[in-house]
Amino acid sequence: MSGTSEALQKEWDRFIEQENGKGKINGAVHDLTNRCWDTCIKSTSTNALDSKEKACLQNCVERFLDVTTHTIRRMQNSKP
Partner 1 sequence: MDPFSSLEGNQSLKLDEGITAQNIEQVKQSVRQSIAMANAQELIRRVNDTCFKMSVPAPGSSFTRAEQDSVSRCVDKYLASWDVVAQTYVARLQREGK
Residue among 26, 30, 27, 36 at smallest CA distance from 62: 36
Positions in 9-38 near partner 1 (CB under 8 A): 9, 11-13, 15-17, 19-20, 22-30, 32-34, 36-37
Would you say 2 or 76 has its CB closer to partner 1?
Answer: 2
Residue burial 13-45, b: 16+ Cβ < 10 Å; e: rest: eeeeeeeeeeeeeeeeeeeeeeebeeebeeeee
Would you say 51 or 76 has its CB closer to partner 1?
Answer: 51
Long-range CB pairs of 6-9 (<8 Å, 24+ gap) are none
Is 70 an interacting residue with respect to partner 1 (CB under 8 A)?
no
Q: Applying CB under 8 A, which residues contact partner 1?
A: 1-2, 5, 8-9, 11-13, 15-17, 19-20, 22-30, 32-34, 36-37, 40-41, 43-49, 53-54, 57-58, 61-62, 65
